[in-house]
A and B are shown apart, each in its own frame.
Chain A
């Protein structure tokens, strides 16, 4: 099976660099599946899980605020944060989720709502990857 090199980079340093058979992720415009030999592409990613598949094994990453650059043999994901399931603090994510939900219910001005929504999405994303 052909593979492509995936590297995930954040401002705090590289998170992962390895060979995989398939990358599936959610771009702003919809679900994307990348196989080796894909045409060069640049797409922003939504706050969601990135699945990296190799043989029968799937690695998951919780990616927040990033974009991907695809070349035929290489995928680079640049994100503000990217966490492996083992790095996620479930309790903290749970607390962040509840906090964001409370904020959304109390409804203040627009910026706060937007920020709370993003925080909520990040927390839900972490929870779904972590558990």
Chain B
């Protein structure tokens, strides 16, 4: 073994150490972003709870109410909304969602006229472009802590697609945040809204409401708002998952770098020892030859 390879190993150790520094910094950044994203989800909860309560109450009230967004119709075209990240370095976060989308399409559709895709996040957009899938709407460059205002437009346009009968149902695919180490790909049907009655918390709703001007009109205002809030909720959930996935990915990158450094250090020492041993052998060989 020569000195040059000793220097090579030293160089690799140093560069791996630098990489580890970066990944561990990114891990910490993701951890704090995740904490913030969790807070955002919590802040959103009162709004979604309340709107659900009022909606359920109207839907369950005695008078007959109907609205296109509550009724199933023949499905000619399905809309899929996928929530992905703008960047990689998040482990399997993006690929899991996109795999779920692709499988779903393969299972359910024969031709491209039967579905369209709404993408949130760059990875989803690029995937659909690459696979030549139809994209109805897309948005990229949403921040790490999105405001409702950031996605209001795409949410209301998507709901409008349904109202205009461009699409007859809307599914949303995203990573549900279970815990910091576990995120689960979730597919839910957003429109038409079917599960309104399920979440009724009747205890707080013993009194009859007066509707101004009437139920029909209020539903017309409320339903799109409700659907938009569901989309926003999914986005917040997805963002929390994104940061969690990024944190996990960076943690394992940091761990791997550590392992690699240990291994390289071991090799470095071994090579160094071998060089020393060889030198001693040579010297003592030389001395023996002189005698």
Interface of A is mostly: strand
- Given contacts A13-B44, A76-B50, A80-B152, A44 and B209 within 8 Å (CB-CB): no
Tell me whether B50 and A44 are in contact (CB under 8 A): no
Partner of B46, one of A9, A41, A44: A9
Q: What does the 1/0 interface line of A52-81 toward B look like (CB < 8 Å)? A: 000000000000011101010000101011
Least CB distance from B65 to A in Å reads 13
- A 16-65 contacts with B by CB, 8 A: 27-29, 32, 39-44, 65
- Given contacts A9-B50, A41-B209, A43-B211, A14 and B43 within 8 Å (CB-CB): yes
What is the size category of the interface that chain B forms with chain A? 20 to 34
B51 at the interface (CB under 8 A from A): yes
Partner of A42, one of B46, B148, B210, B225: B210
Least CB distance from B213 to A in Å reads 5
Expressed in whole angstroms, the Cα–Cα distance for A42 and B208 within the complex equals 10
Least CB distance from A41 to B in Å reads 5
A94 at the interface (CB under 8 A from B): no
Expressed in whole angstroms, the Cα–Cα distance for A27 and B210 within the complex equals 14
Tell me whether A11 and B44 are in contact (CB under 8 A): yes
Partner of A28, one of B43, B50, B207, B221: B221
Apart from A40-B207, A40-B208, A81-B148, list 16 A-B contacts with CB within 8 A: A10-B47, A11-B44, A11-B229, A11-B232, A12-B44, A13-B44, A13-B46, A41-B210, A42-B212, A44-B218, A66-B225, A67-B218, A69-B50, A78-B47, A78-B50, A78-B54
8 contacting pairs across A/B (C-beta < 8 A): A11-B48, A11-B229, A12-B148, A13-B47, A65-B225, A78-B47, A78-B54, A80-B152
Which B residues lie at the A interface, using CB under 8 A? 40, 43-44, 46-48, 50-51, 54, 58, 147-149, 152, 207-213, 217-218, 221-222, 225, 228-229, 232
